[in-house]
């Protein structure tokens, strides 16, 4: 067993850390307050090759491994989780889904520009559309329909909570093609945002990751060419589940980064803030909090890296990615709350960053499968 990172992985980690400090930190408080999508940061991430990190170079990607992706996600999430969620969706849901299950034509047409994050010099990213107003955790209860009309499908329905919903050019949309078949009657389609019948509602006003671009998207008689279905007829739900297993490594790494960011701030603050004649780190109640944060974050990091390693080794990583996501997101929430506590009153105001990290942490327990859903996946996996 080897816990050392390679030279290349260390280089990517450093590049992501520098990017987070120099490109994401400036303006992060204002973007959060104004709910401003970090367009400049995402465009620069595309230029760094961080929007298609794990995509083969022949399709415009950076050809990196999943471990490098975890390292980069952690560093960027320490500073701005609104940037990292956009990065996670594009990399591990959209690009991965197309690379693993798309046809050669779909890869040439869509994957290549999505992996570069740019087309004709403009931002070109994707969104993943499984959730609906009446179907979140209960994802097989899709109501969006795609009627087979011969050469094309006619798509009707509503998807909500869609990350990158307003900025994405390409959507991967799950829809029912045959309700009677249950999960086997679901297909996934590649839909372009500018096609007639696609309507994007206003951006959601959220508790955290406020810069990220979350929208409801409606489809009214959208004509989707037959060749835009991904995989064989009825593969759409399996596609969603298999793709989400990788996506959960991305969100686990995001949660890890939020936790690590909050911990680093708390540790530095505890070294300088004085109370009762000494730095607060010398009060055991504070020192023990920092010890627990350090330990939990290390455990979360190991779970993330193990899941990433299993994915890179082409092993089954379904349980590992759910364990990483569950543990890292619970750690992020707990650590961020305790980091605010370590800061006392200063933790409650914006300029110390930890209140934002606390608000951002919450979503990691909800999206890409709530903590309860991760327990469903893990328990079914270990008991089957
Ligand atoms: N791989 C392949 N197929 C799978 C699978 C997997 N990992 N998991 C399930 N399936 C198949 C099953 O084999 C089953 O097929 P059969 O009927 O032929 O056996 C079918 O899918 C249905 O599976 P289940 O019976 O297990 O389905 P269920 O209704 O009990 O639900 C669930 C299982 C785990 C709760 C699932 O619905 C789920 O993951 N829900 C959460 C949805 C979610 O994570 N949404 C995230 C949206 S994206 C997002 O959130 C992005 C973002 O924020 C940034
Ligand atoms: P529900 O499924 O209604 O769950 C409500 C509560 O009941 C939860 O605590 C849940 O864990 C619990 N629960 C439900 N079923 C069970 C059960 N069987 N056992 C135990 N407890 C259960 N979706 C996308 O498709 N694409 C995106 O890009 C995307 N981005 C998002 C971004 C944001 C900011 C948010 C808020 C959501 C996003 N989502 C996205 C949706 C997200 O995946 C769902 O919100 C999530 O899966 C939960 O679904 P729900 O909100 O309908 O909650």
Q: CA 154, CA 149: separation in Å to the nearest integer?
A: 7
Which whole number is the average pLDDT over 83-93?
98
Confidence of residue 1 (pLDDT cuts 50, 70, 90): confident
- The tens digit of pLDDT for each residue in 223-243 reads 999 999 999 999 999 999 999
Note the maximum CA span of the chain.
79
Cβ-Cβ contacts under 8 Å for 285 (sequence gap 6 or more): none
pLDDT over 90 (residue 341): yes
Centroid of ligand 2 to alpha carbon of 332 (angstroms): 18
What phi and psi, each to the nearest 5 degrees, are found at residue 323?
-65, -40
Q: Is 255 in the pocket of ligand 1 (CB under 6 A)?
A: no
Q: What is the pLDDT of residue 111?
A: 98
Centroid of ligand 2 to alpha carbon of 361 (angstroms): 15
Cβ-Cβ contacts under 8 Å for 165 (sequence gap 6 or more): 127, 159, 200, 213, 214, 215, 216, 217
Annotated catalytic, 368? Answer: yes
In ligand 1, the atom with minimum distance to the C-alpha of 131 is: 47
Q: CA 251, CA 365: separation in Å to the nearest integer?
A: 9
Q: What is the pLDDT of residue 203?
A: 97
Q: CA 337, CA 357: separation in Å to the nearest integer?
A: 9
Whether 176 and 142 have beta carbons less than 8 Å apart is answered as yes
Residue percentage of the chain with pLDDT more than 70: 100
For residue 88, the ligand closest to its alpha carbon is: 1
Q: What is the pLDDT of residue 249?
A: 98
Q: What is the pLDDT of residue 342?
A: 98
Centroid of ligand 2 to alpha carbon of 139 (angstroms): 9
- The tens digit of pLDDT for each residue in 23-70 reads 999 999 999 999 999 999 999 999 999 999 999 999 999 999 999 999
Whether 133 and 69 have beta carbons less than 8 Å apart is answered as no
Confidence of residue 162 (pLDDT cuts 50, 70, 90): very high
Q: What is the pLDDT of residue 49?
A: 97
- Rounded to 10°, the helix 236-272/354-364 angle is 160
Burial 361-379 (b: 16+ CB within 10 A, else e): bbbbbbbbbebebbeebbe
At 284, list the tokens: 């055991």
Q: What is the pLDDT of residue 356?
A: 98
Cβ-Cβ contacts under 8 Å for 272 (sequence gap 6 or more): 279
- The tens digit of pLDDT for each residue in 358-378 reads 999 999 999 999 999 999 999
Confidence of residue 275 (pLDDT cuts 50, 70, 90): very high
Q: Is 300 in the pocket of ligand 1 (CB under 6 A)?
A: no
Q: What is the pLDDT of residue 281?
A: 98
- Nearest residue CA, atom 20 of ligand 1? 183
What phi and psi, each to the nearest 5 degrees, are found at residue 156?
-140, 135
Which whole number is the average pLDDT over 99-116?
98
Which whole number is the average pLDDT over 136-161?
97
Q: CA 223, CA 200: separation in Å to the nearest integer?
A: 17
Assembly ipTM: 0.98
Whether 60 and 113 have beta carbons less than 8 Å apart is answered as yes
Q: What value does the mean pLDDT of the chain take?
A: 98
């Amino acid at each position: 067993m080897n816990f050392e990172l390679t030279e290349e992985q260390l280089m990517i980690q450093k590049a992501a850390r520098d990017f987070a400090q120099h490109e994401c930190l400036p303006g992060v408080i204002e973007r959060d307050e104004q709910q401003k999508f970090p367009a400049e940061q995402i465009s620069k991430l595309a230029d760094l090759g961080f929007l298609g990190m794990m995509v083969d170079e022949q399709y415009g990607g950076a050809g990196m491994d999943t471990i490098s992706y975890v390292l980069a996600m952690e560093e960027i999430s320490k500073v701005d989780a609104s940037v990292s969620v956009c990065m996670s969706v594009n990399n591990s849901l959209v690009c991965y889904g197309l690379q693993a299950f798309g046809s050669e034509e779909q890869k040439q047409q869509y994957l290549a520009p999505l992996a570069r994050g740019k087309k004709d010099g403009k931002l070109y990213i994707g969104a993943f559309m499984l959730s609906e107003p009446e179907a979140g955790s209960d994802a097989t209860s899709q109501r969006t329909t795609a009627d087979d009309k011969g050469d094309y499908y006619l798509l009707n329905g509503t998807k909500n909570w869609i990350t990158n919903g307003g900025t994405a050019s390409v959507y991967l949309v799950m829809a029912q093609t045959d309700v009677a078949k249950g999960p086997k009657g679901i297909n996934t389609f590649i839909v372009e945002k500018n096609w007639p019948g696609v309507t994007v509602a206003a951006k959601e006003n959220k508790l955290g990751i406020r810069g990220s671009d979350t929208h409801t998207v409606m489809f009214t008689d959208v004509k989707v060419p037959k060749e835009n279905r991904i995989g064989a007829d009825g593969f759409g739900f399996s596609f969603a589940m298999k793709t989400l297993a990788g996506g959960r490594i991305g969100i686990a790494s995001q949660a890890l980064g939020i936790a690590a960011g909050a911990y680093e701030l708390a540790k530095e603050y505890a070294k300088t803030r004085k109370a009762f004649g000494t730095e607060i780190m010398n009060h055991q109640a504070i020192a023990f909090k920092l010890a627990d944060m350090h330990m939990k974050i290390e455990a979360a990091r190991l779970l993330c890296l193990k899941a990433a390693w299993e994915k890179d080794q082409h092993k089954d990583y379904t349980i590992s990615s759910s364990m990483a996501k569950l543990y890292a997101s619970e750690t992020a929430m707990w650590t961020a709350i305790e980091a605010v506590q370590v800061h006392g009153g200063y933790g409650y105001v914006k300029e110390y960053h930890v209140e934002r990290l606390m608000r951002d942490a919450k979503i990691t327990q909800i999206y890409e499968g709530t903590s309860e859903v991760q327990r469903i996946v893990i328990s079914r996996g270990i008991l089957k």
